[in-house]
Structure 1
Amino acid sequence: MIGGNEMPVDTSTFQNDMTSIRTKDDVLSLLIHLGYLAYNTTKQTVRIPNEEIRREFLSTIKVGSHDVTNKIILNSDQLIVDTINCDEDAVARAIQDTHDAGTFGVSPLFYNDEQALRSVVRFAYISCVNSYIKIEELPSVHGYADIVYIPKDGLGLPALLIELKMDGSADGAIE
């Protein structure tokens, strides 16, 4: 959710108190009731409603003993810097490390699947949520750009365009 995604939630088991918390859904339901999360009744999903609350969640993660999560965020921060600095070797290593770690929830059976690679990229660039708006399958003159990160106003950052090509060349992707 910190990355801007929604999560499914079953609010029907929540007992409307703070002492009967038994499941992940109960925790999410409580956070909805407290106003920290927004609930979509149509899709039965939950999301962080705004930037201020998202920052609070990030702060909580950084303060707690979440070494793995902190490392993921720091690696993502560095990946953005390396991307902006056009350090293709560092970017390739970071994407490969993310892909090999498998922490983004894609089965090894789909290691080279385009959707798995898309998940790797979204996960690797998780820190873009702070400064960018993510658009997937952005229409262009010559087709669709797989993932585009457009900088939020006033930050002076470049747009990041990510084109995924299986068994294709970098020149082909650029073309």
Structure 2
Amino acid sequence: MNQAIEDSKNLLQCLWNMDEVSVAKGIEKAHQEISILKYNDENALSCTIQLAFYYAREYYQIIRELPSGKGYTDICFIPRPRYKDKSAIIIELKWDKNVETAMNQIYKNNYPDALKDYTDNLLLCGINYNKADKKHECKIERFKLK
């Protein structure tokens, strides 16, 4: 259990540092350790992400399917009041697509609108799982108002 918490701490730090490769590897590790019989849809991926980022609950309120813009964000991390210095985070999940599709959906559907109070400190993260090679990929960007 201690190792899982350390892994979760490290994964959160990698996300803050925008280390896409390490985030993808950390999620893959969590996926391998979680006993999900059917890892074949975005819901299973969402559960894996939430368990992988368990430690983030220290800093964030984590919300699934937050209404925003023209749809629902898959996962939002909203900083707790005493951690307002932390970036808010929007995570969009894809299954057998690619991270560019996830990032495009974030912008096309105006998901950052749901976190207007954080647009000067907002990370956007797209995560895709490729079923054929059983690999995760990640793209992280700092949101900039246009």
Q: Is the shorter-chain TM-score for this pair beyond 0.5, marking a shared fold?
A: yes
Quick one: which of 151, 159, 168 aligns to 2:79? Answer: 151
**DSSP 3-state at the match of 1:163:** strand
* Residue ranges of structure 1 left out of the alignment (5+ in a row): 1-68
4+ residue runs of structure 1 moved beyond 6 angstroms? Answer: none
Q: CA deviation at 1:160?
A: 1.7
CA distance in 2, matches of 1:165, 1:112: 11
* CA deviations over 1:24-63 (Å, ceiling 9, x no partner): xxxxxxxxxxxxxxxxxxxxxxxxxxxxxxxxxxxxxxxx
Is the counterpart of residue 161 in structure 1 residue 64 in structure 2? no
CA distance in 2, matches of 1:71, 1:168: 31
CA distance in 2, matches of 1:82, 1:164: 18
Asked which structure has the greater CA Rg, the reply is 1
Matched residue, 1:58: none
Once the two structures are superposed, the pairs formed by residues 49-64 of structure 1 within 5 Å of their partners are none
Quick one: which of 81, 87, 103 aligns to 1:174? Answer: 103
Q: CA deviation at 1:75?
A: 0.4
**What TM-score, normalized to structure 2?**
0.67
Matched residue, 2:18: 86
**DSSP 3-state at the match of 1:136:** strand
* Residue ranges of structure 2 left out of the alignment (5+ in a row): 105-146
**DSSP 3-state at the match of 2:36:** coil
Aligned residue identity for 2:59: S
Matched residue, 2:127: none
Q: CA RMSD of the aligned region, Å?
A: 1.1
Is the counterpart of residue 106 in structure 1 residue 36 in structure 2? yes
**DSSP 3-state at the match of 1:154:** helix
Q: CA deviation at 1:164?
A: 0.7
Task: Flag the structure with higher strand content.
Answer: 2
CA distance in 2, matches of 1:160, 1:172: 17
- For this pair of structures, how many residues does the alignment match? 103
* CA deviations over 1:51-109 (Å, ceiling 9, x no partner): xxxxxxxxxxxxxxxxxx1000000000000001000000000000110112xx421xx
Q: Percent identity?
A: 36
